[in-house]
Structure 1
Amino acid sequence: NRTDTKYVLSTATLWEALQGLRGAYRMLEVDGVRQHHYRTVYFDTADFALYQRHHAGAADRYKVRARLYQDSGLAFLEVKHKTNKRRTIKERLRTDKLQSNLTLATVPFLQRHYPGESAALLPVLVNFFTRITLVGIDRPERTTLDFDLGFSWGDRYVTLPGLAIAELKQEGYALRSRFSQQMHALGVRPASFSKYCLGASLLYPWLKQNNFKRTHLLVQKIMRGTNHDNAN
């Protein structure tokens, strides 16, 4: 169980932030590699029930996804549960490859961790990004820094150059986090953000998305290279 705090910012602001975080974090390195590449397939129902629940502001919600860690070849099926207490619970099942479709072998796992009807879940989009992970030296926290984001499905393809998503992951919520302090100093405030919901709204523009308007405006602002302050 953990508490996640997200920040949406430009990659230029992110690199600026990293300069002020030296000594407080180390970069996670695997086989000498610090930048890791991810590919994720998200699943939803035909009427996008999981997306709609998030859009409606439901405090208790789920995401179902298959993820490939491209550098290592490791793949997992994951169920991510955001509870009404703002806790994030993630369960995952190791798979032999990226699951572009759910199989009978995954049913028992989904029945244990996903309250909906697993047979109704369909692949609806692919998300890809590059990630750097910061590990706290003196505090038990991690921060993931995602950039080079893109989404695709069928012949639809969207990329978001210059956009970065930072996610501070900690047990409980601590204002003493050096990363959160650095974000505040740079005028970047916590934001509600979902890669899945952003990607779905871009690839399926007919989906209801008025409640995501603030996020969309922030993303557009960053993509235009304007002021990164999202406090207003």
Structure 2
Amino acid sequence: MSAPAGLPALSLEEINERAALVTRTCRKYLVPEEVVDDLFSPARFGVLTIGGRTSFRYSSTYLDTPDLRCFRDHRQGRRLRYKVRVRTYEDTGTRMFEVKLKGARGITDKVRVEHDGSPERLTPATRRFLDDSLTAYGIEPPDVLVPSAVTDYRRATAVALSGEERVTVDTELVGRRGGWSVAMRPGRALLEVKTRGGLTETERRLHALGFREVAFTKYASTLAALEPGFRGNKWHRAMAACLDHPTLERAAA
């Protein structure tokens, strides 16, 4: 599947004008791919289109402390927590350094800056950006960050013309760590509904079809699936429903 079919094309600039939603509530749903087209009406939604393409390849390299503090804080549900990643837009080669901050009331803030360098390490500019972002949020910056996992996937983005919601549709997900990989089963799609309000029309449609919000994150599920001794905890049910068995990609060096 490439993207929701039959929707009017929207440029990135148009989408950001309508629904940037950098500070937002995000809810996730796992659905069969064939359900996706039925969720979006051309009268209400457009689809991100760049150079004639409506779906794009992403690669996110996550950085964490050596003892995986970011993962552990997320698993424990700490009120203040963060994730750090370098996102590579594979179709253009552009890289962005992103810090996702979770605070009170479940609101997510995402701040980011261009990243000029390897996705596996910070540059002086991104180190300063990280320190400033975390300090402003009341979180002590870590001394050291190291690469902890990579997630690759294909994404399409549908946006309500009203600006009420922005829905990303992720398929072909593969998580990697330490020479092992785990993939999403064929025919599955991960929807992320981003909004500043309550349930959206898309979510009400999902509920009517029998789908409910799931606890699932690409990073945490990759670590829980591939790191010996880790437990998925709240992600276990969703992981079991959508992920295949881990696969050894190469022998350890």
By the TM > 0.5 criterion, same fold?
A: yes
Matches of 1:116 and 1:156 in 2, distance apart?
A: 32
Matches of 1:74 and 1:121 in 2, distance apart?
A: 22
Aligned Cα RMSD in Å?
2.0
SS at match of 2:143: helix
Matches of 1:152 and 1:8 in 2, distance apart?
A: 20
Deviation at 1:98, TM superposition (A): 4.9
Which stretch has the larger CA shift, 78-87 or 112-121? 112-121
Out of 28, 36, 39, the position equivalent to 1:6 is 28
TM-score by length of 2: 0.79
Deviation at 1:12, TM superposition (A): 3.1
Identical columns (%): 32
Task: Answer whether contact 1:44 1:50 (CA < 8 A) is retained.
Answer: yes
Q: Where does structure 1 lack aligned partners over 5 or more consecutive residues? A: 225-232
Matches of 1:43 and 1:188 in 2, distance apart?
A: 32
Out of 53, 61, 75, the position equivalent to 1:33 is 53
Tell me, yes or no, if structure 1 residue 200 matches structure 2 residue 223: yes
The residue identity in structure 1 corresponding to 2:172 is D
Matches of 1:84 and 1:204 in 2, distance apart?
A: 29
Task: Answer whether contact 1:149 1:163 (CA < 8 A) is retained.
Answer: no
Q: Tell me the equivalent position of 1:43.
A: 63
The residue identity in structure 1 corresponding to 2:124 is L
Deviation at 1:27, TM superposition (A): 1.1
Out of 150, 156, 161, the position equivalent to 2:174 is 150
Structure 1 segment 152-191 matched on structure 2, within 5 A: 152-160=176-184, 161-173=186-198, 175=199, 177-191=200-214
Give the aligned length.
Answer: 218
Matches of 1:90 and 1:186 in 2, distance apart?
A: 31
The residue identity in structure 1 corresponding to 2:164 is P
Deviation at 1:94, TM superposition (A): 0.5
Q: Tell me the equivalent position of 1:136.
A: 160
Deviation at 1:79, TM superposition (A): 0.4
Q: Which has the higher contact order (CA 8 A, sep 6+)?
A: 1
TM-score by length of 1: 0.86
SS at match of 1:118: coil
